[in-house]
Amino acid sequence: MVSANKKGVAVNQKSYRKPSLWHVIAQNKTLLLMCVPAIVFFFVFSYMPMPGAYIAFTNFQYNKGIWASPFVGMQNFKFLFQSGQLGLLLRNTILYNLAFIVLGNVLQLTFAILLNEVQSKRYKKVTQSMMFLPYFISDVLVSLLVYNLLNYDYGFISNLVRALGGEMPKVYQMAGAWPIIIVLVNLWKGTGYGTVVYFAAITGMDSSMLEAAQIDGANGFQRIRYIILPTLKPTVVILFLFAIGGILKGNFGLFYNLVGNNSMLFGTTDIIETYVYRSMMNSFNFSQSSAVGLFQSVVGFFIVIGANAFVKKLDSDYALF
């Protein structure tokens, strides 16, 4: 693992002198080489476009380009605050993301550990693939599935309930039901993917620890509780820190397809992205939409910094930087 090795180098050198940058690079050249594609990717798609965020402060003119367009200061940011909806949008966006992050990680961790305990290789492979599949189903199809299950007149569940003599509620008019539905759908879609990450971390663990525990008489639960979980802690913390940076960003595809323009559900389902879409679908204002994106990124940035500082305070080994 990259992090383990980097740390290893640092520890070895500390007793002599602070290693020079070149030395570190030379020592880790193979690992760094393996990182190059990722570094290039983030440089090209995340760092190079960054100056372009300036567009959020301009009245963008196509023929003048970003830099020569008239500067308008914070005007593009105003609309989000002027609407009076920001509180609701922030609440929904953050609560959904927290639910996704917390429940998602718990489920992924659980499934990864359960998978690890399964002995049959074939069963393991098949289960993993089956769990992974929903990840590839587009949100449009997911929304159709949900509609065909839940719609009042002809839905599968509605028919089932009626056949059993029950009274089907009008789910598409119940705002309260949707946080549960959306979180469930999101978990169904994402758990398989996340499980693989944790499963890889478990597979990468030093097996001698587990063997030693076994010899010392630790049972299955004790192995999980005292060996596997503590070893996974850094991975959990890192994934959590990564995820929390996007806490103001919503999954537009999922929310828009499931809810659409059904405003009876907006109270509990409206997130920043869907609101921006509804407001700007007819004006195509690149500057204003960039302003919203920048706002989300800047807030996300400070949240990551804050969370990282917090983690550092608890245990500096686990912090990102």
Partner 1 sequence: MKKLVALLVAMMMLTAMLPVMAMADSAIDTSEHVVITYLVTGDIPTNRTEEVLAKINEKLTEKVNAELKIRWIEWTDWTTKYNLALATQSGDIDLIGTATDWLNAWPNIQKGAFLPLSEDMLKTYAPKTWEQVPAENWELCKYNGEIYLMPEDHYAQWTNHGFMYRGDWAREAGLENGVHSWADLAVYFQYIKDNKPDVIPWDANGNGSSYGPQMAGGWQTSHTTNVYIEGIGVDLFYGVSKDDPYTLSNYYIEGDELVNFAKEMKKWADAGYWRTDVLNYTGDVAAEMEEGKTGAHQHHTQTWTGERTTMEKKQPGSDLGFFWFGEEMNNVVGLNITHGAMAVAMTSKNPERALMVYDLMRNDPEIYRLMQYGIEGDMYTIDENGYIVRPEGYEQSKDGVDLNYWWGRNDDLELRDGKKDWEAIDALYAAYDAVKINYPYGRVVFDLANVQMYLDNLSNVYNTYMPRIVFGMMDDPEAYVAEFRAQLKAAGIDICMQEIQRQLDAVYGK
Query: Site residues (CB under 8 A) for partner 1?
Result: 59-64, 75, 78-79, 82-85, 143-144, 147, 151-154, 170, 172-173, 259-264, 266, 275, 278-286, 288
Q: Which is nearer to partner 1, 61 or 159 (CB)?
A: 61
For residue 42, the minimal CB distance to partner 1 (Å) is 22
75/116 with CB nearer partner 1: 75
- Chain center to CA of 182: 15
Nearest residue (CB) to partner 1, 89 versus 239: 89
**Least Å from the CB of residue 318 to partner 1:** 40
Nearer to partner 1, 199 or 266 (CB): 266
- Compute how many other C-beta atoms are within 10 angstroms of the C-beta atom of residue 8: 13
In this structure, the number of other CB atoms found within 10 A of the CB of residue 256 comes to 20
Q: Between residues 129 and 263, which has the closer beta carbon with respect to partner 1?
A: 263
Angle at 44 between CA 194 and CA 309, to 5 degrees: 55
b (16+ CB within 10 A) / e for 120-145? eeeeeeebbeebeebeeeebeebbee
Of 249, 290, 283, nearest in space to 54 by CA: 290
Please, what is the minimum distance in Å from the beta carbon of residue 132 to partner 1?
Answer: 25
Smallest distance from partner 1 to CB 115, Å: 35
**What single letter denotes the amino acid at residue 150?**
L
> Please, which contacts does 73-76 make with residues 24 or more away whose CB atoms are closer than 8 Å?
76/285, 76/287, 76/288, 76/290, 76/291
The distance of closest approach from Cβ of residue 276 to partner 1 in the complex, given in angstroms and rounded to an integer, is 9
Are the CB atoms for 32 and 25 separated by under 8 Å?
yes
- The least distance separating partner 1 from the CB of residue 94, rounded to whole angstroms, comes to 20
Q: Which is nearer to partner 1, 199 or 295 (CB)?
A: 295
